[in-house]
Amino acid sequence: MDTHSWPGENLNSTFPADFAWGVATSAHQVEGENFNNQWHAWERNGRIKSRDSVGLACDWWKNAEQDFDLAKSLGINALRLSVEWSRIEPSPGQWDHAALARYRDILKALRDRGIRPFVTLHHFTNPLWFESKGGFAAAESVAVFQRFTRRVLAALGDLCSDWTTFNEPNVYSALGYFLGEFPPGERGSFLKAARVTENLCRAHAAAYRTIHALQANANVGWAQHFVVFKPTRPESAIDRWISAFIDRRFNNNFAETIETGRSPFPLNHFRRHLDEVKDTCDYIGINYYSRLRAGFAPRSPKTLFFQLTVPSHKPQGDHGVEIPYGEAYPDGLRRAVERFKSFKKPIYILENGVPDRNDRIRPWLLESTVEQLRGLLAEGTDLRGYFHWTLTDNFEWNEGWHLRFGLIELDTKTQERKMRPSAQLYSQLIHRFSRNRTH
Ligand code: FCB
């Protein structure tokens, strides 16, 4: 597949020479056999909608290196992964040195291949012992997470300087405490979701300071999930109000607290300021996938009477077991970037992709997204990297294996890999826009 050309233009001048052309992953989704976290318990309790089990996943705990070879062959120069807390600290204060040694090998394997590692400290999973004490709803969670951060930095700090504290704190609290889709599966616990968000902000800030105290050149942020919301019926005042309300609460709550030092809504009406969380990021990390319609739903009291939908004629990836995944809407990336401009920090797109087993729309999505990046860079936006979700098909949380996000197709029975056409396309885009064409 050929990519667009822009006649008379020096393509190489748009993307900075050190732009991170990456892919993103997370421990539970790729490593396999993580039996000591709350997501495994969720799976055992029959809560994965497809009834699939993670099993060996992409077998990264034993052999991540084969995928790193494939990433290198595509010209990818950065890879985002997470460390699994339940492996590193299987019981409170007990450290598994073999697990830390394996993570050292993984990071070295990336660096040996010229791939810059970006490490996420928390990507949705909690050790069972932590979850049983209330997870991030408990006040002690902040200090416990800080202790974990310190340990990870001591073990891996010489191999990585790009850190993401939390992946999508807004998804973690909304799906776990409000929509009941993620563990612990609570529905409508509005105040608890806000408390969890507040503790995540405090844990993020503590981790930020801990990392900087231990590493002079650290680059630290969090990954903010952003959804473009639109009223289901634009002519309806209530739909417009609902859409604006969800947009503000879901997309802004965490970021606003970090920016202003005020507790997340509705706790901001009761609490003192959280000054310690202010100015605790070196970059803005954005995970952007889709657009959703939000409207009034009189029969959904548990979700505060709103419903999220996607019009069937809009481009979208494969359908989830119960709910649509979202409209694939590459133009919305600009909205996400603009929303967080006020931080005046460099921006990384830390995730972007589509579930698309047959590569129907992924090539279009990739090309359109890179075009968006190009436009934003040309206007002077300080964009430092793009990470496609994901390299090899992996286990999609409560949906299981049927949603396939990989540039590379995985046969979970044989562990065989097959490049999708979009893997070659991503490779071509990287080579076309990289100033450093040594790959
Ligand atoms: C994001 C998650 C990531 C992956 C993608 C498809 O919300 O951070 O782990 O599941 O969605």
Q: What is the pLDDT along the chain (439 residues), one digit of tens a residue?
A: 444 444 445 555 689 999 999 999 999 999 999 999 999 999 999 999 999 999 999 999 999 999 999 999 999 999 999 999 999 999 999 999 999 999 999 999 999 999 999 999 999 999 999 999 999 999 999 999 999 999 999 999 999 999 999 999 999 999 999 999 999 999 989 899 999 999 999 999 999 999 999 999 999 999 999 999 999 999 999 999 999 999 999 999 999 999 999 988 888 888 778 999 999 999 999 999 999 999 999 988 766 788 999 999 999 999 999 888 999 999 999 999 999 999 999 999 999 999 999 999 999 999 999 999 999 999 999 999 999 999 999 999 999 999 999 999 999 999 999 999 999 999 999 999 986 554 4
405 lines ligand 1 (CB under 6 A): yes
Query: Which mutation among 351, 403, 405 tests ligand 1's pocket best, with the greatest number of atoms within 8 A of CB?
Result: 351
Host H or E run for residue 22: strand 20-24
Host H or E run for residue 290: strand 284-296
Q: What is the pTM of this model?
A: 0.96
For 164, counting Cβ atoms within 10 Å of its Cβ (0-12 exposed, 13-18 middle, 19+ buried), the class is buried
Which positions ≥6 away from 13 have C-beta within 8 Å?
Answer: none
Cα dihedral: 29, 294, 350, 125 (round 10)? -30
Which positions ≥6 away from 392 have C-beta within 8 Å?
Answer: 30, 58, 67, 70, 406, 407, 408, 409, 410, 417
Give the whole-angstrom CA distance, residue 118 versus residue 6: 32
387 lines ligand 1 (CB under 6 A): no
222 lines ligand 1 (CB under 6 A): no
82 lines ligand 1 (CB under 6 A): no
